[in-house]
Structure 1
Amino acid sequence: MESAIKFELPNELNAIKPPERRGIRRDYVKMMVLDKATGQTEHTQFYHLDRFLKKGDLLVLNVSRTVPAVLKSKREADGAEVEIRLAHRKNESVWEVLPVSGDLKEGDIIRFSPALTAAVVAQSSETPFVSLAFNLCCSDLFNQIYSLGEPVRYEYIQEPWNLDYYQTVFATIPGSVEMPSAGRAFSWELLFRLQKKGVRIAYITLHTGLSYLLDDKWHKGPDKNFENYIVPEETVHVINKTKQEGGRVIAVGTTVVRALETAALEKGELHAAEGWTNLYIQEKTNLQVCDGLITGMHEPEASHLQLLSAFIQSEKLYSAYREAIDQHYLWHEFGDMNLIL
């Protein structure tokens, strides 16, 4: 199993800029369609998605909106500069954050702007995170974060792209510190075309946490990564109706799989739920809700690949990924797409 998801990803296949800056629309990225039963592949573009979905199928989208999670501040006591990355929102005014530069200890007050300060309320040598209690909450806090912050950007991205490039068109509820990127390729035009065909659309919310913690010693598996989710009653109703009528439930992104399967696990059947999930989905997981998946291209040995192997045998997945490399698919949040059905 382990060897099946190791592969070399050539540097030139890192998507270093959004499709729109490569001269194509967001829904014109490549799409590899992968038959989960046979492992057969077909190569097309994402705007042809409607050809592969049928009337009565259901797409489930994550409406979490990306927040610009990189924030600069100064320590009130001595004016020392401190840069942090928001990691997980604990409540309306408290976030777990990762200090990137500068030291923070319990009791420190840091200032981000004339209007925004935060106190360090928890710190431990067992974790790289500290907890910050901000002096603002709710929309006032988000307004400050949106005006001051920058999106999290990893080493393969060389330019600071505007936050708009890190949003899906349908995102409404702020909270993700990294873009739920599987939904990025959708345009409103494509969503309307799918609805016209009779494809249903429903929504969940899962706020993504910070995945890379700068130091490998802190790297945690998915079972240690708690993310906040909401599966509303309305979505449960549409999923149940779809299944009763023989349609397929297609998750848009690993975040959607995690939320839906968590909500089904607690009582053995899907029900409306909210809370924190640390569900670790892998090859042996018996998926109760999701029949198919739309996702991006995942890094070698990533836990996301183990989640994908709950849909398709890892050997078939590995073979398809070799093909995607040969076909020059692009990886990461600005890259190409994979439909598993």
Structure 2
Amino acid sequence: MVATKALDFYLPEELNASLPPEKRGLRRDHVRMMVLDRTTGEIKHDRFFHLANYLQAGDLVILNNSRTIPAVLHAEWRRNTIQLAPKVEVRLARRRGEDTWDALVVANPVNAGDILQFPFELAATVIGEKENSPLKIIQFTKKGPDLFNIIYALGEPVRYEYIEQPWDLDYYQTVFASHPGSVEMPSAGRAFSWELLFKLMRKDIQVEYIQLHTGLSYLLDDQWHQTPEENEEEYQISEQTMERILQTKASGKRVIAVGTTVVRALETAAKNGSLSGMTNLYIDQHYPLKMADGIITGLHEPKASHLDMLSAFVSEKHLLQAYDQAIESRYLWHEFGDMNLIL
């Protein structure tokens, strides 16, 4: 792998995981795991099921229990009484309120006042747009659990071009997901099974949960590249969990964040003192991490902002060397791919 610039590299197309592990004959917790030492850059290769071998009693693993919603919907597009299109795609991007979402309406030009008519007597009105973004603000005729129930009945999971065929929503859930709201799966937690979680607990490795609802990362047009600062996400951390984090750090043990979403939520709370709210925190190599001592994550595509965050844990040089090895060793990328433990 030749780095053409920092955190850019060539990823062969065949290393994009297009099938869930279960469809490749693997249990979800038996995907491969590359272990990277933060200090020395030393690399080990293993299976995710052996995670407990790399953690110590008293360490704290923090998971994101946000549940993936099927965020791709289809609607009839109307203006006044005129039907402009019988079927347009509507991708939910971020929840603003009980009945209001940012959404990508794949039609042009969509104006304020336009109506999106869905089945099950559900409709939404376009009430505004996000500045410097193709996202529209839409208000549904239902709200809260009633709205979520219809979204689950109508929608499909967001699927990117490397996933060649549709998979049921279950494949886009972590086993512990409990709070609906993520537009894309918080995929770092996908490789965990209940068996592995119990194995960690039997070794006195602590497990806690937070929520961060992930937004839509790709707006279907390279012209619209969302920076982390533009991608606001809603998070919530309980007082009990924060207490456990502070106790763990005070006792000299490590806090291991499962996914960039968890790092973002924890470091936001540390920075602004608020256990819930919105975050647009951007973390890179210059950011002094206060909460996370290690991260469990997937493998990220070239130039992804997630790679900038990883460089807060480990030097860009060691990170690129590790990715070089991952490519040579034929690791698989993206939400159905292999895992990376950085400690």
TM-score band w.r.t. shorter chain:
over 0.9
The answer on whether the counterparts of 1:60 and 1:204 sit within 8 Å (CA) in structure 2 is yes
Deviates more, 1:104-113 or 1:192-201: 104-113
Answer whether contact 1:64 1:175 (CA < 8 A) is retained.
Answer: yes
Q: Give the aligned partner of residue 337 of structure 1.
A: 339
Q: Deviations 1:43-84 (Å, cap 9, x if unpaired)?
A: 000000010011000000001100111000002433322211
Task: Name the counterpart of 1:198.
Answer: 204
What amino acid maps onto 2:233 in structure 1?
E
Cα separation, 2, equivalents of 1:127 and 1:284: 28
Give the direction of change, closer, same or farther, for the CA distance of 1:86–1:50 in structure 2 (3 Å limit): same
Residue 82 of structure 2 aligns to which amino acid in structure 1?
A: D
Cα distance, 1:230 vs structure 2? 0.8
2:315 counterpart (306, 313, 316): 313
Q: CA deviation at 1:124?
A: 5.8
In the aligned structure 2, how far is the partner of 1:60 from the partner of 1:174? 18
Return the offset for 1:114: 3.1
User: Aligned equivalents of 2:185 and 2:194: distance in 1?
Assistant: 18
Q: Which amino acid aligns with 1:230?
A: Q
Question: Which secondary structure state, in structure 1, belongs to the residue aligned with residue 161 of structure 2?
Answer: coil
Does structure 1 conserve the Cα–Cα contact (< 8 Å) formed by 2:134 and 2:224?
Answer: yes
1:92-103 equivalences in 2 (<5 Å):
92-101=98-107, 103=109
2:73·2:154 contact (CA, 8 Å) conserved in 1?
yes
Work out which of the residue numbers 278, 281, 295 in structure 2 matches 1:279: 281
**In structure 1, distance between residues paired with 2:123 and 2:293:** 46
Q: Give 3-state SS (helix, strand or coil) of 2:242's partner.
A: helix
Alpha carbons of structure 1 residues 124 and 232: separation in structure 2 relative to 1, 3 Å: closer
2:155 alignment counterpart: 149
How many residue pairs match? The answer is 337
SS at match of 2:145: helix
Residue among 296, 301, 325 paired with 1:323: 325
Taking the aligned partners of 2:24 and 2:228, their CA distance within structure 1 comes to: 33
Local SS of the residue matching 1:203: strand
Give distance in 2, aligned partners of 1:322 and 1:263.
Answer: 34
Q: Structure 2: where are the runs of 5+ without partners? A: none
Whole-angstrom distance in 1 between the partners of 2:162 and 2:326: 19
Amino acid in structure 1 at the alignment position of 2:281: L
**Contact 1:206 1:259 survives alignment (8 Å):** yes
Specify the SS of the correspondent of 1:243: helix
Deviations 1:7-44 (A, max 9, x none): 10001100001000000000000000000000001000
1:265 to 2:236 alignment: no
* Equivalent residue, structure 2, for 1:78: 82
Q: Conserved in 2, the CA contact under 8 Å of 1:83 and 1:102? A: no
- 8 A Cα contact 1:250 1:293, kept in partner: yes
Q: TM-score, normalised by structure 1?
A: 0.96
Distance 2:154 2:236 in 1: 27
2-structure distance, mates of 1:75, 1:216: 25
**Partner AA of 1:24 in structure 2:** L
- State the TM-score, normalizing by the size of structure 2: 0.96
For residues 240 and 114 of structure 1, what CA distance do their matches in structure 2 show? Answer: 47
Separation of aligned partners in 2, 1:211 and 1:138: 24
| Amino acid paired to 2:234 | N
Would you say 1:8 and 2:10 are equivalent positions?
A: yes
Segments of structure 1 that go 5 or more residues without pairing to the other structure are none
Letter in 1 for 2:73: L
Query: What is the rounded CA distance, in whole Å, between the counterparts of 2:123 and 2:311 in structure 1?
Result: 44
Residues 216-270 of structure 1, C-alpha deviation per residue, up to 9 Å, x if partnerless?
2211211111111112111101101111222100000000000000000014xxx
SS state at 1:321 partner? helix
Is residue 299–residue 339 contact of structure 2 (8 Å, CA) maintained in 1?
yes
- Contact kept? 1:261, 1:288, Cα under 8 Å: yes
Does the CA contact (< 8 Å) of 1:2 and 1:301 recur in 2?
no
Of the three residues 217, 228, 235, the one matched with 1:222 is 228
Alpha-carbon shift at residue 102 of structure 1 (Å): 5.3
CA distance in 1, matches of 2:108, 2:141: 21
Residue in 2 that maps onto 1:290 = 292
Q: Contact 2:120–2:150 (CA<8 Å) still a contact in 1?
A: no
* 1:66 match: 68
Q: Percent sequence identity over matched residues?
A: 57
SS state of the match for residue 46, structure 2?
strand
In the TM superposition, residue 105 of structure 1 has moved relative to its aligned partner by 1.2
